[in-house]
Amino acid sequence: MDLDDAAPAGPSPLSPEDYYMENGLMVFTAAYHLKRGYCCGSGCRHCPYDHANVPDAKPDQRPAPPAGADDATGAG
């Protein structure tokens, strides 16, 4: 058996459009969430799934983008 066939595929490396840094924290973009394919339930700022798996979240209850955020960048 070839060891390469037995090992599960690791996560894909992040692309520049997948995140940005804000106050030393990594903020994932809507593009990243769409690639992942589901709501993780963490209440992410740019969740394109209307926080479907967030406990007690109402539909379309998204946190407001930070002041000065440019939606044209694809940051959600």
pLDDT in tens, 16-54: 999 999 999 999 999 999 999 999 999 999 999 999 999
CB count, 10 Å around CB of 47?
23
**74 has a pLDDT exceeding 50:** no
pTM, to two decimals = 0.59
Higher pLDDT, 18 or 56: 18
Instruction: Report the domain count for the chain.
Output: 1
Containing domain of residue 60, as a range? Answer: 3-73
Dist. CA 31–CA 42, nearest whole Å: 16
Please give the pLDDT value at position 56: 81
β-strands 25-28, 19-22 pairing: antiparallel
Q: Which residues are bridge partners to 20 per DSSP?
A: 27
Please give the pLDDT value at position 66: 57
Please give the pLDDT value at position 68: 56
